[in-house]
Amino acid sequence: MVDELTDVLISKHHPMDKLLRQDRLPHIWCSGCGLGTVLTCFVSALEKLDLDMDQVVVVSGIGCTGRAAGYLNLDGFHTTHGRAIPFATGLKLGNPELKVVVISGDGDLMAIGGNHFIHAARRNMDLTVICVNNFNYGMTSGQLAPTTPTNARTSTSPYGNAEHPFNVPYLAAATGATYVARWTVLHVRRLERSIIEAMNKRGFSVVEVISPCPTYYGRWNKMGSALEQMKYYHDKSTIRHWSDPAQADIGLEGQIIVGRFVDIDKPTFCDLLQGADQ
Amino acid sequence: MVDELTDVLISKHHPMDKLLRQDRLPHIWCSGCGLGTVLTCFVSALEKLDLDMDQVVVVSGIGCTGRAAGYLNLDGFHTTHGRAIPFATGLKLGNPELKVVVISGDGDLMAIGGNHFIHAARRNMDLTVICVNNFNYGMTSGQLAPTTPTNARTSTSPYGNAEHPFNVPYLAAATGATYVARWTVLHVRRLERSIIEAMNKRGFSVVEVISPCPTYYGRWNKMGSALEQMKYYHDKSTIRHWSDPAQADIGLEGQIIVGRFVDIDKPTFCDLLQGADQ
Amino acid sequence: MKLWRKPLDQDRVVVPRGEIHLIVERCKGCQLCATYCPRDVLEMSSLFNTRGYHPPQVRNARRCLVCGLCTMLCPEFAIYVEEVGHDQ
Amino acid sequence: MKLWRKPLDQDRVVVPRGEIHLIVERCKGCQLCATYCPRDVLEMSSLFNTRGYHPPQVRNARRCLVCGLCTMLCPEFAIYVEEVGHDQ
Amino acid sequence: MSRHEIRFSGFGGQGIITAGYILGKAASLFDQRHVTLIKSYGPESRGGASSAQVIISDEEIDYPRLTQPKLLVAMSQEAYAKYIGELASGGLLLIDEDLVEPCHPRDDIQVRAVPATRIAESELGRKIVANIVMLGFVAANADVASVEGIREAALSSIPKGTEELNSQALAKGYEYGNQLQSTMHKV
Amino acid sequence: MSRHEIRFSGFGGQGIITAGYILGKAASLFDQRHVTLIKSYGPESRGGASSAQVIISDEEIDYPRLTQPKLLVAMSQEAYAKYIGELASGGLLLIDEDLVEPCHPRDDIQVRAVPATRIAESELGRKIVANIVMLGFVAANADVASVEGIREAALSSIPKGTEELNSQALAKGYEYGNQLQSTMHKV
Amino acid sequence: MGRRRVSNNGILQGSFFMDGDTACAEGAICAGCRFFGGYPITPATEIAERMARRLPQVGGTYIQMEDEIASISAVLGASWAGTRAMTATSGPGFSLMMENLGLGIITETPCVLVNVQRGGPSTGMPTLVGQGDMMQARWGSHGPYETIALSPGSPQELFDLTIRAFNLAEKYRTPVLVMTDEAVGHMTERVVIPPLEEIEYYARRKPQVPPNGYLPYRPDPDGVPPMACAGEGYRIHVTGLTHNEKGYPDTVSVETQQKLVERLIRKIRANQDDIIELREDQVEEADVVVVAYGISARTAARPVRMAREMGLKVGLLKLVTVWPFAEERIRELAPKVEGFVVPEINMGQIAQEVERCAGGQAQTILVPHAGGGLHHPNDVLEAIKRVTSPQSTSAETSP
Amino acid sequence: MGRRRVSNNGILQGSFFMDGDTACAEGAICAGCRFFGGYPITPATEIAERMARRLPQVGGTYIQMEDEIASISAVLGASWAGTRAMTATSGPGFSLMMENLGLGIITETPCVLVNVQRGGPSTGMPTLVGQGDMMQARWGSHGPYETIALSPGSPQELFDLTIRAFNLAEKYRTPVLVMTDEAVGHMTERVVIPPLEEIEYYARRKPQVPPNGYLPYRPDPDGVPPMACAGEGYRIHVTGLTHNEKGYPDTVSVETQQKLVERLIRKIRANQDDIIELREDQVEEADVVVVAYGISARTAARPVRMAREMGLKVGLLKLVTVWPFAEERIRELAPKVEGFVVPEINMGQIAQEVERCAGGQAQTILVPHAGGGLHHPNDVLEAIKRVTSPQSTSAETSP
Ligand SMILES: Cc1ncc(C[n+]2csc(CCOP(=O)(O)OP(=O)(O)O)c2C)c(N)n1
Ligand SMILES: Cc1ncc(C[n+]2csc(CCOP(=O)(O)OP(=O)(O)O)c2C)c(N)n1
Ligand code: SF4
Ligand code: SF4
Ligand code: SF4
Ligand code: SF4
Ligand code: SF4
Ligand code: SF4
Ligand SMILES: [Mg+2]
Ligand SMILES: [Mg+2]
């Protein structure tokens, strides 16, 4: 054994560090969790966006994903469980010049926060929502989420889930989102591109990212190593741009349809408000 | 002027009284409000259903519509604003032999209660929901609801509504309801039939009833007399059974698509639970 | 002001196919029954009930087909029709 | 136990088209970089960092095309590649 | 006593609270007196009981509810029945004569009647201004606020475009009240 | 003293809490002593610091936290560094020799090392049972619970199908501990 | 999933080494709980997880609702369906339940809410102990009401008190709060589960009259009305509005309100001798009484012992029932002692009640702790010594 | 809707005959409030309705959220965007806000919450008065914290105190509660709106250092940290978890928790002289002091006058600020008076605080009212007489 890493240059800083809170790294996420990669893609997207980073705000709820706001060197708000979207709504309306991005988990956004999600979509509130779907509540150690596939096991569905899961893109589209995409965490380039598109969109834009939670969901469902899980989701996905999001259900097995599903133009809440006030 | 009503037989009781709490009539609803007629249709449907009335339970939230539970001579629960559906869920799971019907308003079910609605639909919880949509919050005197058409005026959208409204049938269908219908309050026979169908359905069934609130919504939007409003909605409606509920948006003007939109079979929460437990 | 006073209970004037019954104090004078009766059987009276509403009355009892629409439409459970035989 | 000890900072061994940089203490040994590098440039080492994880190392630096995939995939902002010139 | 306590009552939709509001506004902003107006709501939006309590005083108003009203305005039978008991001895009852039939005879009060709804409906063509007719009648009968104040308060509180109608309604009620008074004086 | 205080420590994923649980269960249910087990969690699900406090006593346990632990089991360098200070004078430190390098020399304690992870990985083929190997080592070194109790507790607490593996792990750790002891005695 | 599939098979019996959360779930099951509607939250999640696994084994139903509001609503619904029901949460979820706790109180719905307290406010310290929700348990919902709250100090007590909570809930027709905390919930100890027949079971009080003679809110002499449930033919109406004995809303009568609210309060206060459970240790002869509850009562045992070893006369009064507050007992003790010492893992909550009831006759010393850990024995010992030392002055409930 | 379209045009000035709710909205607008996120509820709806009409006229934004949880969340967000923001609700909605009130407190977010109290518990009496949420205002959210709550007794005072609430919120970086009630909210009286330049305006305290030297939770000497908002280049991190001065979560350190929680509490308690506003009328010479707040302080004026006419020496102490509680003043008065009389439209809330602080040196008599109406002057008068009559005994805060 050697004491050295072959051919590697040892660094202290990463090129993306200026957008990161280095003093908080490494983050709390498990080895093999998809969340770090989502963050990498987000930062990479930020670097490509023509925005004043002082005007970009990230709002998270509570959950493993919800920690995202805490690692970004942007104005960041780690709110309460489920309330990222209404908090973000207040931020946006309080200062419409801000670019407000919500990054949170499937439980946070779809379970306790579901109502805010559909109402913000309905209003076409000018926000970007990145929903990391790991099919369970990671932070509280792997319980049932409203995205957990039927029959999947979790710590609170030990005999198999008796519920039908939400199809996030369909829910977003059906309630009014103007941009909707889904990728798995291994689709790094496409994911980055969708984040850029979503943030450039005026209106309620939603990017769902399918991401493994090897520590809980993967273990409960005997999905092998973290790496295997990531690969599994990637391999199961079929890119079908502009396909009907109603068809994009995710089961315990079977394919995962990914792609850009919706990209339409519609007046935002602020647009209509301005019209009404005059 | 005479002191008598020509050719009318004066009664003290109504044939439907056995299903009503006579000691609470007349109800609090305004003259010309559609809610009374919804109740009449519901009672009439009950009479035609082959059910043990001791096992039929009505749960309401808070609102003018929410008072419905209080006029029916059934086990009735007038809960808190927005919580009729989760309360009903507990009732149903606590005693699966009960037939549980939720009757509540658009604000109650779609605003504060929206999350419960979509989650119960997702779970295909075996409940019937009658959502009376009067495009505003009647009880609190006519504020904006999530069903208020864009540009419509209410006491909290005095310059015109800057929001896009929910399309209730579409939201129900997109989140998993197995029976979805919409009628206006003047479609008494069809409404009665849909209520019967919904209550006979195993699963989450939703009947939306478009009903005037002459006292507030009608007045704010200069829709004329109560009678005119009822007629207006009826005249604007086009029956289109099994049409795509996504097309059933309601604007400030324009047609209202009514009919039965969804009638599918899918295992309920209880069905799946039973499977999982075994 | 005219309050409705004298109950006409069972005080049959003609022999109709349907008898129109009214629980006067429940009526809120919304006119739905009179407006939508397909046979123009009903009309609004000018009497007041004690809550200040005008209840309907019968204009032409013989025309009633006992279709039940007035009963279904009435928001107040105030009106109903009983079939009492056929007009021969 | 082998902890990684001696920093190799700027200690260039070959003249690659891309230089692979690593912030050792951030790495959680998830293997994503090594697994998905399209050019098989990386492999996992058997060293431990102080938090008990095995960081990757370079197996074949010359093959690196500076595609950036390792950087994008790394959940820890632990690895990145800098283009330093062309391999002629 | 510098404290006047007045109750307006009727059913929802008659503009009872508006009448109380206009009176109160007149006394408060135009006559510069201390005024407290309390609206009472039932669960109904329409058709239920409606009432407004107005207290007009030269001193600061501590207790903001009626204790011994000297003036009761009743525009429905139900309201009359509900509130007649609280009217102080020596008090004045004003009623819409088509809507209220006094049936709890009291010797210790005065009663004056006006066909406010009828005047509004038949003379002005808008039943909805019965409350304003009644207000004019109040102004004529009780010295709680100046007529000018009431007119100004009314005109600044009603929807634009209805000024003429409301002025007339007020005038009709006021005249009716004055005539009645002179008639009574004559008798 | 009838009160034994023990800390198991390491990082998340090593089964630290399971080790504490098994020891506690053995003492509680098999040896019928009073036992309190406290698990400490950090915000991380994996990789963060993990620790279990076990108190075993012949009397009821009032204060349920460690005050002066006499036994520290450290399975990571970080945990060692964090907890070595609290170990009571005369206490015993047990470490995984491949994961912990004692660097805060203390004269007043004893240190014993076992390559638990290595034994688990190379001799048993499952790194995951390092905690059970360590538990065997604990049983050999400290008189806090009976070996039989620990074995029974372990077998009733692990996933079905892993009984053999865990028995072996426990035995390996126990043997290693005994050999070490006898070696030490010989010296 | 038929209703009567409520079975007693699968109920545990014997000695177990289990954590408080698990003991709570097992206690509920022994108490007859057959419905759990919940939402995960640290450090209460293990209760939900245990219930998810265990309820199907005893014919009950577990459902994970979309949030805590839905959870408590479902629990109320299930109770009205005739099922013993509970939920478990921690601070943030407890706060969300406050509105519907009020519904449970005004509709007199028996059910059990467990709050495994953690460090607050807000998201605070999710994995560490706190006792900061004690006043919230009393006052957290709007409007006037009374409440019952129990506070266990060990897994065994959490087991026992969960059972007691169900029985009190039925007896007094009210939601009962089990105010435990992370230290107890995550502490593992021996828990002895007795045979089912030895476990007290207070059956729901049912109407003794036929439906047409039944007034759902006409109380028995103890202030508690018998309860007909949905599907039993009584055609009840239940509302969160102010209501009369028939259960009908009457929102404009001050008398109806007064009668209802006074009874809701009286049924608890008048029965407080039955509800209040205290555990006293050498309180009668004491100069100083340490008043504590839950885990803090347990940690106080050590400094109390230390003080006694120093020759001080110190008693320990453990509030097993925290609400209704042991007002009478404190008033009784106040003239006899020099002071009360109140350690709690908050900045002064129950200490204020003690101070109020002490009425200036004995000083009250709060030993606060902001949360995240237990009191060090010395902190409490110091406070005890402060009472007995001559230079100490009046009340100090502020930190 | 550009950010800087915040205009002062359209601000009212002069005398108006308006109800309390409207006055509240106008007060907010005068105080610089330019964001309202709300949800209708009787009897607070008129505030929302007024704001919906008025905010667009002054360059502000009204949004009706999907519920009260969303409302308070949006208000917090708007405040962090640099806008003065408020919401208004009543009991049920207030209960729903409890979780995120805690977020506002721990993140130190200036904003104003108005609670127009109605009869409770639960849905209760929506159209009638109550004061049953006073303890909830102090204790309704989980975990340890302190709060500021003001209580107006007339539309004019509601106007004035809404302005004061905004200023206190900014000064102490905390949500401030305006605890009014239906009687005041629905009462119409003359309200005088002074010229804008005469209205106090406490501007948000901004950091005086560049972003890299800024610690978002490093307090000034008064315990309050200057506040950088989103979009100002400070790259702040704000969390509801226990956090250090940098704003970073630290959920395992008891020290961090203690430092944070103690400061949150201290910044209110240490500044209570500035925060607490009392109005006293003949308190100094009194034998009996009526302690009251809001509408009950107003209705108490009559019986106080009646008692004085009977020759009794009665003072009236009006708690304009209810929280933090006027502890010192009560402690000061207790030895000088015979008793305190506390009328409140609940079954005993602030009376308990008075009793606690009276420390047995004066009796405390609660005059309870279950809700739905005001105290009759005689009820309070009787209580006053009871204090002064010889046979009266100690504390009676229970109904
Ligand atoms: C009101 C409230 N309820 C529950 C919790 C506990 N809680 C924290 S995170 C979480 C779920 C997180 O799931 P998800 O949003 O999917 O995030 P993940 O951890 O999977 O990324 C829950 C239930 C809480 N913090 N607050
Ligand atoms: C938590 C809470 N928020 C607000 C209210 C006030 N409120 C009562 S009914 C209602 C809206 C009713 O609207 P809808 O459900 O459409 O019924 P409608 O009156 O139109 O039939 C509101 C906001 C309440 N009771 N509780
Ligand atoms: S628990 Fe799951 S979601 Fe959370 S960090 Fe670990 S792997 Fe990721
Ligand atoms: S307010 Fe509107 S919805 Fe309510 S009863 Fe009147 S008309 Fe019907
Ligand atoms: S039954 Fe039919 S025909 Fe007869 S009155 Fe009624 S609506 Fe008219
Ligand atoms: S429909 Fe009913 S309420 Fe309406 S007028 Fe006819 S009888 Fe009266
Ligand atoms: S840049 Fe591309 S080729 Fe080079 S090491 Fe990274 S992944 Fe491999
Ligand atoms: S991807 Fe990053 S964290 Fe994973 S092994 Fe490679 S360098 Fe380490
Ligand atoms: Mg998740
Ligand atoms: Mg509605």
Extended strands (E) in H65-174 = 84-89, 111-119, 125-129, 148-150
Chain G touched by H138 (CB under 8 Å)? yes
Is A107's C-beta closer than 6 angstroms to any atom of ligand 1?
A: yes
Residues 36-55 of F with CB under 8 A from D: 47
Q: Of all residues in chain B, what percent carry a pLDDT higher than 70?
A: 98
Identify the pLDDT of residue C88: 52
Q: For residues F179 and F185, what is the distance between their CA atoms, to the nearest angstrom?
A: 10
Confidence (pLDDT) at E10: 93
How confident is chain B (278 residues) per 10-residue block, as mean pLDDT? Answer: 74 96 95 97 97 98 97 98 98 98 98 98 98 98 97 98 98 98 98 98 98 96 95 96 96 95 97 76
Domains H4-198 and H280-387 share a fold: yes
Q: What pLDDT shows up at residue G57?
A: 96
Ligand 4 mean position, distance from CA B210 (Å): 13
Report the distance separating Cα C45 and Cα C60, nearest Å. 13
Quick check: H278 pLDDT over 60?
Answer: yes
Whole-number pLDDT of residue F97: 93
Contact assessment for residue H257 and residue H265, using Cβ atoms and an 8 Å cutoff: no
Cβ–Cβ gap H1/A83 under 8 Å: no
Residue F47 touches chain H, beta carbons under 8 Å: no
Structure tokens at H217: 């939770």
How many angstroms does the Cα of residue H40 sit away from the middle of ligand 10? 12
The pLDDT value given to residue B54? 98
At G325-334, the pLDDT tens digits run 999 999 999 9
Spell out which residues of chain E touch residue H302, defining contact as CB-CB under 8 Å: 62-63
pLDDT tens string D34-83: 999 999 999 999 888 877 789 999 999 889 999 999 999 999 999 999 99
Q: How confident is the model at residue E185 (pLDDT cuts 50, 70, 90)?
A: low
Q: How far is Cα A257 from Cα A269, in angstroms, rounded to an integer?
A: 30
pLDDT values of chain G reduced to their tens digit, one per residue, 399 residues: 333 345 678 999 999 999 999 999 999 999 999 999 999 999 999 999 999 999 999 999 999 999 999 999 999 999 999 999 999 999 999 999 999 999 999 999 999 999 999 999 999 999 999 999 999 999 999 999 999 999 999 999 999 999 999 999 999 999 999 999 999 999 999 999 999 999 999 999 999 999 999 999 999 999 999 999 999 999 999 999 999 999 999 999 999 999 999 999 999 999 999 999 999 999 999 999 999 999 999 999 999 999 999 999 999 999 999 999 999 999 999 999 999 999 999 999 999 999 999 999 999 999 999 999 999 999 999 999 999 886 544 444 444
Query: Looking at the 3D structure of chain A, how many domains does it have?
Result: 1
Q: Residue E124: which region, alpha, beta or left (left: phi > 0; alpha: psi -120 to 50)?
A: alpha
Give the strand pairing for H321-323 and H148-150.
antiparallel
Q: Is G331 exposed, middle or buried (0-12, 13-18, 19+ CB in 10 A)?
A: middle
Q: How far is CA B39 from CA B66, B67, G240, in A?
A: 11, 10, 21
Of the pLDDT bands very low, low, confident and very high (cuts 50, 70, 90), residue C52 is: confident
For G4-198, which CATH class? alpha beta
pLDDT of residue H228: 98
Chains contacting chain F through 3 or more C-beta pairs under 8 A? A, D, G, H
Q: Is D30 in the pocket of ligand 7 (CB under 6 A)?
A: no
Query: Which residues constitute the domain of residue B237?
Result: 34-277
CB A128 less than 6 A from any atom of ligand 3: no
* Calpha distance A262→B3 (Å, rounded): 67
The structural domains of chain F, ordered by start, are 3-186 (3.40.920.10)
Confirm if G50 and G26 have CB atoms less than 8 A apart.
yes
Cβ atoms within 10 Å, residue G210: 9
> By CA distance, what is E40's nearest residue in G?
G252
Residue of A76, A116, A273 lying closest to H237 (CB–CB): A76
With respect to residue A235, please indicate whether it lies within any of the assigned structural domains: yes
Q: Is G292 helix (H, G, I), strand (E, B) or coil?
A: strand
Interchain CB distance below 8 Å, H370 and G121: no
Using the CB atoms, write b or e for B42-75: b if 16+ within 10 Å: bbbbbeeeeeebbbbbbbbbbbbbbbbbbbbbbb
Using the Cβ of H279 and the Cβ atoms of chain G, whether some distance falls under 8 Å is answered with no
Residue D3 CA to ligand 3 centre (angstroms): 26
State whether the beta carbon of C18 lies less than 6 angstroms from ligand 5: yes
User: Which of A86-95, E119-128, H134-143, H236-245 is predicted with the least confidence, judged by mean pLDDT?
Assistant: E119-128
Interchain proximity F76–D28, CB inside 8 Å: no
Tokens at A187, concatenated: 């689709």
**A146 Cα–ligand 10 center, Å:** 28
Contacts of A28 in chain F (CB under 8 A): 42-45, 48
HSE toward the beta carbon, residue B192, CA cutoff 13 A:
17
CB–CB contact E41 H16 (8 Å): no
The pTM for the full model equals 0.96
Q: At what angle do helices G68-80 and B114-123 cross, to 10 degrees?
A: 70
Comparing CB atoms, the residue among A141, A146, A155 nearest residue G66 is: A146
Residue in the structure block whose two tokens are 């969804």: B262
Nearest Cβ partner for A4 among D8, D19, D31: D8
Instruction: Work out the mean pLDDT of chain E and round it to a whole number.
Output: 91
Q: How many A from CA of A65 to the centre of ligand 3?
A: 8
Q: Cα(E5)–Cα(E144) distance, rounded to whole angstroms?
A: 9
HSE (side-chain half, CA atoms, 13 Å) at E25: 22
Please state, in angstroms and rounded to a whole number, the distance separating the CA atoms of residues F174 and G345.
Answer: 42
The answer to whether G79 contacts chain B (CB < 8 Å) is yes
Q: What is the structure's pLDDT at B275?
A: 77
The whole-number pLDDT of residue G398 equals 44
Find out whether the beta carbon of B142 lies less than 6 Å from any atom of ligand 4: no
Distance separating alpha carbons of residues H223 and H266, to the nearest angstrom: 7
Give the integer Cα–Cα distance in Å for H261 and H106.
Answer: 8
Average pLDDT rounded to a whole number, residues E42-63: 87
Chain H hits for B80, CB-CB cut-off 8 Å, are: 92, 122-123
Does E101 touch chain C if contact means CB atoms closer than 8 Å? yes
Higher pLDDT, E88 or C16: E88
B13 in any annotated domain: no
Minimum distance, in Å, between the CA of residue A210 and any CA atom of chain H = 26
Supply angle C-alpha H204, H205, H206, rounded to 5.
105
Report all structural domains of chain C as residue ranges with CATH numbers, in order of start.
22-82 (3.30.70.20)
Ligand 8 center from residue A215 Cα (angstroms): 17
Domain ranges of chain G: 4-198, 280-387
The chains in contact with chain G, meaning 3 or more Cβ pairs closer than 8 Å, are A, B, E, F, H
**pLDDT range class, residue D4, cuts 50, 70, 90:** low
CATH class in words for G280-387:
alpha beta
Q: Is C68 in the pocket of ligand 5 (CB under 6 A)?
A: yes
Q: What is the pLDDT of residues F44-65, one digit of tens each?
A: 777 778 899 999 999 999 999 9
